[in-house]
Amino acid sequence: MKKTGNIRAAVISTAAILLLASPAAAHKLRVSGEAVAVADSGVTVTPGRDWNRLDAKAGKNTETWTLDGEQLNDVTFFGGIEAGKPLVKERDRKRDPLPKFTSSTLLIEIPELLEGTYRTHKQIGAFRLLTTEPAKFLGQDGVSFTYEYVDADLLTRRGDARAAIIAGKLYMITFDAPRLHYFDRSISDFRALVSSAKLR
């Protein structure tokens, strides 16, 4: 009983620290059951529950949704990244270039592309790919993969992603959350979004 209480206290403390450390971000409600286009692309999803869309964008064809705050559960849509472009906007193209999606990038290389992007953009050192397997996404052959990393806040986070290359563009949805409590609590909501995704 005492151990359970300690875990609950740790989760509450972690959530409080993350919420205090994160500046308030404007958001727009995405209502359960209503199909909506994401990431300035032809991709639509129909959420099975209400989500918040954050106004801040990591890149041109990206969009971020959350349930409890970006640091607690982060779903990012990448809507048709063109060849020669990075997944997110570069801060310093000369000194800190991001890896690019290219016309020769293979599905099996997408996890490595995300890892390289995270290492530079999120400035993390520890990233571990856990699983990679073929999976259908947007009605096409794609890849499903899971990963784990330690962010700047020194919390271990887990991630789950689906991706496909369609007509020479990369489409991907990622889900990141602290490994303790938040990942397991919201992973089914993320997978429901993935299952609802369609490309017009």
Structure tokens at 77: 């849509």
Tens digits of residue pLDDT in 142-153: 999 999 999 888
CATH T-level topology, domain 26-199: Protein Transport Mog1p; Chain A (3.40.1000)
At residue 26, the pLDDT reads 55
β-bridge pairing 127-137 and 100-101: unpaired
- Entry pTM: 0.86
The residue ranges of every structural domain in the chain are 26-199
Strands (E), 40-196: 43-45, 51-54, 62-66, 74-81, 85-86, 100-101, 127-137, 140-150, 156-166, 169-178
pLDDT of residue 153: 81
Residue 120 in tokens: 């530079």
pLDDT per position as a tens digit, 110-169: 999 999 999 999 888 899 999 999 999 999 999 999 999 998 888 899 999 999 999 999
pLDDT at 152: 80
